[in-house]
């Protein structure tokens, strides 16, 4: 596989352009929605050398890697590695990448706002912290309004 005639400077994985100089183990973590553990599982299932440069792989192998990245359940990757388990709409375990992940996140926040959960109300307020962080002494750069104590 490591033939200089087939070497490519840029490959496309998960809607992201990746330099051919990067090792495959690291390159699989670069698309949004793919983690280190997912990359390791893909390398293990497809018997890839994690240290081999991703530009050295053939186009057929890249296509197989892309398919495994988009459909990990087809290749026997464990469900607990997926980034969207038990989807609210379909009830299926899914693994989403890049723009699909962003779009689904926006839909989830829109639903939280619609049903007026605490988290949804905080999202709708915009400058508020959502996950229970302290707002009195930290996060001043994020636009959280706090009142200074009067000095006497």
Buried b (16+ CB within 10 A) or exposed e, 55-71: bbbeeeebebbbebbbe
pLDDT tens digits for 115-151?
988 888 888 877 677 777 777 776 666 555 555 666 6
User: What does the alpha-carbon distance between residue 1 and residue 146 come to, in Å, rounded to a whole number?
Assistant: 60
Same domain, 28 and 59: yes
Average pLDDT along the chain:
83
Residue 20 domain boundaries: 4-81
The CATH number that applies at residue 75 is 1.10.8.50
User: What does the alpha-carbon distance between residue 93 and residue 90 come to, in Å, rounded to a whole number?
Assistant: 9
In the predicted model, is pLDDT for residue 106 greater than 80?
A: yes
Please give the structure tokens belonging to residue 72: 């990990």
Domain for residue 91, yes or no?
no
| pLDDT band at residue 89 under the 50/70/90 scheme | confident
Domain for residue 39, yes or no?
yes
DSSP state of 139: -
pLDDT tens digits for 26-60?
999 999 888 899 999 999 999 999 899 988 888 89
Domain for residue 67, yes or no?
yes
Number of domains in the chain: 2
């Amino acid at each position: 596989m490591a033939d200089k005639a087939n070497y490519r400077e840029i490959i496309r994985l998960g809607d992201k352009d990746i330099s051919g100089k990067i090792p495959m183990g690291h390159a699989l973590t670069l698309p949004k929605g793919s983690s280190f553990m997912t990359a390791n599982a893909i390398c293990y299932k497809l018997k890839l050398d994690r240290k081999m440069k991703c530009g050295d792989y053939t186009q057929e192998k890249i296509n197989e890697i892309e398919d495994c990245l988009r459909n990990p359940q087809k290749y026997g990757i464990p469900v607990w590695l997926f980034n969207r388990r038990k989807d609210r709409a379909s009830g299926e375990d899914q693994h989403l990448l890049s723009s699909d992940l962003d779009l689904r996140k926006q839909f989830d926040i829109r639903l939280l706002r619609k049903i007026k959960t605490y988290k949804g109300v905080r999202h709708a307020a915009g400058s508020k912290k959502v996950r229970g962080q302290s707002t009195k002494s930290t996060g001043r750069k994020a636009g959280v309004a706090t009142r200074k104590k009067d000095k006497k």
